[in-house]
Structure 1
Amino acid sequence: MAGLFGSTSSTNTANTLGDLGKDVALKNPPEDSVSDINFSPQSQHLAVASWDKKVRIYEISPTTGESNGVAAFDHEGPVLSCHWSPDGKKVVGAGADKAARMMDLTTQQTTQVAAHEQPIRCARFFTPPSGGEAMLVTGSWDKTIKYWDTRSPTPVATVQCQERVYTLDVKKNLLVVGTADRYINVINLNEPTKFYKTLQSPLKWQTRVVSCFTDATGFAVGSIEGRCAIQYVEEKDASSNFSFKCHRDPPQNNMTNVYSVNAISFHPVHGTFSTAGSDGTFHFWDGVAKHRLKGYPTTGGTISATAFNKDGDIFAYAVSYDWSKGYASNTPQYPNKVMMHGIVGDECKPRPSVKKR
């Protein structure tokens, strides 16, 4: 079968090295580092948040990967997060100006919808368990998360966390918040102001990203030391928890170069997932089989953000400086681009279970 972007599916499942040759670059990308990317849950549109104080929205062709800029809105500082509303009609950005701002794509109007005392690190829309209008949750370096009805300027509720919020993700009724000092807070959105449980990250170093499973039974954690952990929410599933090494160079002279895991994205159809990191590579994994499905060669710069589109046939990744080596490494020559990778054949499909034969 002919795959996306002109490539063909490989019949050799043993071939675990993927091909970047057909990947298509986003036209007119941001002018500074890309901090976050997110596909619409309803259409082939991609939101891109950048340190250049803008959120840009592009339409992506599902057959060619070509892009066309359709809208943008401004912040007063670097934008650190972006997300789409469930109906695909609104995009929120949040960042260093301590505010979240939302564009209504129908009217092209932008309004401020959230505020914190410190920069907002992440913002996510979610549908309340009781139904009704989509709500927004924001996590900030002021050590709080806040819930917002975007029609009101005051938060519906504020929850105090142990430390600065570095990452959060939401899926169905599951909200997971990762903070400094390796705290992970799990919230059941039926009781949004209580921690359902709190744990220390199973990884020994700073949490970089958390990402919820597609079925909301658990989450993945990525850290700065080239490790990823798979964690289930309920104790009865705890025997399935595990962590593994990734994004590190082969050892040389008793030394191993270790890189940050910057992004983890779950495939919307198969439930497999990607990791991407400061080493400039991304990989697809089957968490159930504990197996790497595909690895890809270096993209020429650190990968700061990733996202699958709603159908799971496009994987977008931002090659952009992630500040992992300080300001001195952020030279004008550093690549800054967002690439569209067409998912081909069995790249993201789980391994067939031997037991089902």
Structure 2
Amino acid sequence: MSSLFGSSSSPSNPTQGDISKDVAVAQPPSDSVSDLAFSPQADYLAVASWDKATRIYEIKADGSTEGKASYNHENAVLSCAWSPDGAQVVSAGADKVARMFDVASGQSQVVAQHDDTIRCVAMFTAPSVGNMVVTGSWDKTIKYWDIRQQTPAATVSVQERVYSMSVKEKLLAVATADRYINIIDLSNPQTVFKRVQSPLKWQTRVVSCFTDATGFAIGSIEGRCAIQYVQDKDASSNFSFKCHRATDPTQRDVSKVYSVNAISFHPVHGTFSTAGSDGTFHFWDKDAKHRLKGYPEVGGSISATAFNRNGNIFAYGISYDWSKGYSENKPNYPCKIMLHPVSGDECKPRPGTKKR
């Protein structure tokens, strides 16, 4: 099959994916990759890093990359996102502020502030306002920001520290400590539409909205993923499954359990990826409850993932994810960003799958 990066043949095992054509991004961050976000308008990749910088790379047709811009925070950057029109990047982190970078002018400015670390940031289009920033913090609040003003347009208190956040169309899903998920309809952004607790038993690492905004996926530290629909009438379709686990060859009855660090939905097919501390990523079809592809271990924990706007590039960051504490963060631990060309049927749903 022809792909973005040249020819890519399918392996003989249809469920075994091939990473031999994956391309490394030139001049990656010098410390852990905390977040990846593709522009919705072009093949530009924003990268948030623990080295206090947010970087923007251009991905060219041959798979090569070029650094286009970078700007600094005063502490680790934990999250980044693009404006819907692709004109700005917003990022936030441990310096308790969100900064917006204008791609055309090359200037950045502070557009949001909290009392504690901002763990998550996103942008959406609001009626009569235009682009708005939403931030989720360890100070247990979500704040909305009209970038023309210095004070938040609204503040919503949540149960605990915000750990993960995802926006799709009018759906905002916010995951906090103690396994709470707050579901907000952005038509009424100051009110939490529904509060639920994760069906998973242990700490939530990531929440990610479906492509059609009817629900979201949750990943936890216990190597499990949950598929949840927003409307109660669809609750019978909710389910959870194990992933990112491995059997110990010396103890067959013992499984090694790895954190699910990232979940990304394919923008065209509605299928999704999971990636984890075990250094593997997988593509799944939630409607068929089926794994499409599993990929070999990449040489280190996968800390962040993203699909580009048309779904033919899958980016993943390989870097230490702190799952084993400070002592395991060795100086020689890999820190890189890889681009996987999505070819053939890798992310297509199973034939005959009925979409919800």
Letter of the aligned partner of 2:44 in structure 1? H
Could you list the per-position Cα deviations for residues 208-229 of structure 1 after superposition, in whole angstroms to 9, with x for gaps in the alignment? 0000001000000000000000
1:59 and 1:69 in contact (8 A); partners too: yes
Instruction: State the alpha-carbon separation in 1 of the partners of residues 353 and 245 from structure 2.
Output: 30
1:109 maps onto 2:107 in alignment: yes
Could you list the per-position Cα deviations for residues 198-254 of structure 1 after superposition, in whole angstroms to 9, with x for gaps in the alignment? 011010000000000010000000000000000000011111100000000025342
2:80 and 2:89 in contact (8 A); partners too: yes
TM-score, reference length from structure 1: 0.97
Q: What is the correspondence of 1:204-353 to structure 2 with a 5 Å cutoff?
A: 204-250=201-247, 252-353=251-352
Identify if the C-alpha distance between structure 1 residues 162 and 354 changes in structure 2 by more than 3 Å, giving closer, same or farther: closer
Instruction: State the alpha-carbon separation in 2 of the partners of residues 96 and 288 from structure 1.
Output: 37
Instruction: State the alpha-carbon separation in 1 of the partners of residues 225 and 7 from structure 2.
Output: 30
CA RMSD of aligned residues (A): 1.4
Instruction: State the alpha-carbon separation in 1 of the partners of residues 353 and 46 from structure 2.
Output: 40
Unaligned runs of 5+ in 1: none
1:25 and 1:340 in contact (8 A); partners too: yes
Letter of the aligned partner of 2:105 in structure 1? T
How many angstroms does 1:127 deviate by?
1.2
Q: What is the correspondence of 1:93-104 to structure 2 with a 5 Å cutoff?
A: 93-104=91-102
1:191 corresponds to which of 188, 192, 213: 188
How many angstroms does 1:6 deviate by?
2.2
2:11 and 2:17 in contact (8 A); partners too: no
**Number of residue pairs matched by the alignment:** 353
How many angstroms does 1:131 deviate by?
5.1
Instruction: State the alpha-carbon separation in 1 of the partners of residues 154 and 160 from structure 2.
Output: 18
Instruction: State the alpha-carbon separation in 2 of the partners of residues 304 and 133 from structure 1.
Output: 31
How many angstroms does 1:190 deviate by?
1.2
1:147 maps onto 2:144 in alignment: yes
SS in 2 for 1:58: strand
Instruction: State the alpha-carbon separation in 2 of the partners of residues 131 and 186 from structure 1.
Output: 23
2:10 and 2:18 in contact (8 A); partners too: no
Which residue is equivalent to 1:120?
118
Instruction: State the alpha-carbon separation in 1 of the partners of residues 9 and 233 from structure 2.
Output: 39
Letter of the aligned partner of 2:181 in structure 1? I
1:211 and 1:221 in contact (8 A); partners too: yes
TM-score, reference length from structure 2: 0.97
Could you list the per-position Cα deviations for residues 136-164 of structure 1 after superposition, in whole angstroms to 9, with x for gaps in the alignment? 10000000000001121100000000000
1:38 and 1:46 in contact (8 A); partners too: yes
Instruction: State the alpha-carbon separation in 2 of the partners of residues 29 and 8 from structure 1.
Output: 25
2:25 and 2:64 in contact (8 A); partners too: yes
Aligned residues: percent identity?
67
Greater strand share, structure number: 2
Letter of the aligned partner of 2:187 in structure 1? N
